[in-house]
Amino acid sequence: MNNHDLSSRRSFMGFLAAAPLAAMPQSQQIPVGVELYSVRDELKKDTFATVRTVAKMGFQCVEFYDPYYSWTPDYARQVRGLMDELGIRCNSTHNGLTSFTDGMDKAIELNNILGTRYVVLANTGKITGLADWKHIVDVLNTANPTLRKHGLQAGVNNHMEIEWAPIEGQRPVDVMAAGLDKSILMQLDVGSCMSTGTDPVAWINRNPGRIRSMHVKDWSPEKKFKLLLGEGVVPWKEVFAAAEKTGGFEFYLIEQEPGPYPAFETVEKCLAAFRKLHG
């Protein structure tokens, strides 16, 4: 391949990675990725080797979490170059409140370099009462218009069990669902939802068009989160059907604790299980 062909290929891959997910053909299979927190120790040692490894497994996208925010723009460009080379995307990142307040400019710059669409709040900081959750709603609603001007959208991940437990008579997830702008992604952590006795299918159906991504994480009363996908009690067939029929779904992200296997082996086994469960 000559230099001109290589340059053209990179430009084309970059275009594909930057294209909004909604612009992709509806008939295209929904991509499945991995939340890199699942392989956090490996990621800490070598970001590039970790991305190469999960891409080789067959994952189509990755979700970087909080440590990415410490990257320089140059480092983010190197990561983006690798993803373009591998044909893998970063559709979303996990963030603290800083990415939506006084550190939003940096979050915008890094996420635009990575080709991200959703800047997702996953670390809310210390929460002491319902007023704090309402503050989270205000922060995201205030930040979202600025993010959208830069081709991004805000999101929130319902991954903590306290979000599903009533506080002062209301569940935080219901407060967020009622108060957040409808364009804000409500990324569902299925395992955490199940662990509190909540029906994830009913939750998806109550929030049509808003559950556009989920963490595919299993759970059981005996093993909690220390198990592989398909070994828990989540009704995956029904969850997938609701997501794709009602949720406005765009991409899946496998997230699982290592359990009895090393982290890379765990996510590879979970990907194989996903393909069997989803079809």
Give pLDDT tens digits for 201-246.
999 999 999 999 999 999 999 999 999 999 999 999 999 999 999 9
Identify the CATH number of the domain defined by range 27-278. Answer: 3.20.20.150
Supply the pTM of this predicted model: 0.89
Q: Provide, rounded to the nearest whole percent, the portion of the chain with pLDDT above 70.
A: 90
How are the residues of the chain apportioned to helix, strand and coil, as percentages rounded to the nearest 5?
Answer: 50, 15, 30
Domain locations in the chain?
A: 27-278
Give the model's pLDDT for residue 40.
97
pLDDT at 75 over 80: yes
pLDDT at 18 over 60: no
Exposed e or buried b per residue across 166-200, where buried means at least 16 C-beta atoms within 10 angstroms of its C-beta: ebeeebbbebbbeebeeebbbbbbbbbbbbeebeb
Distance in Å from the first CA to the final CA of the chain: 36
Q: pLDDT confidence of 279, banded at 50, 70, 90?
A: confident
Widest distance between CA atoms in the chain: 65
Model pLDDT for residues 241-250, shown as the tens digit of each residue: 999 999 999 9
Beta strands in 104-231 (DSSP E): 118-123, 153-158, 185-189, 213-216
Measured distance CA(135)–CA(124) in Å, rounded: 10
Give the model's pLDDT for residue 23.
38
The DSSP H or E segment spanning 254 is strand 251-254
Q: Look at residues 184, 127, 130 and name the one whose alpha carbon lies nearest to residue 157.
A: 184
Query: How far is the CA of 269 from the CAs of 32, 38, 52, 146, 234, in angstroms?
Result: 14, 12, 17, 39, 17
Q: pLDDT confidence of 160, banded at 50, 70, 90?
A: confident
Mean pLDDT, rounded, of the chain: 90
Give the model's pLDDT for residue 122.
95
SS3 109: helix
pLDDT at 12 over 80: no
Contacts with 125 (C-beta within 8 Å, 6 or more apart), sequence order: 96, 97
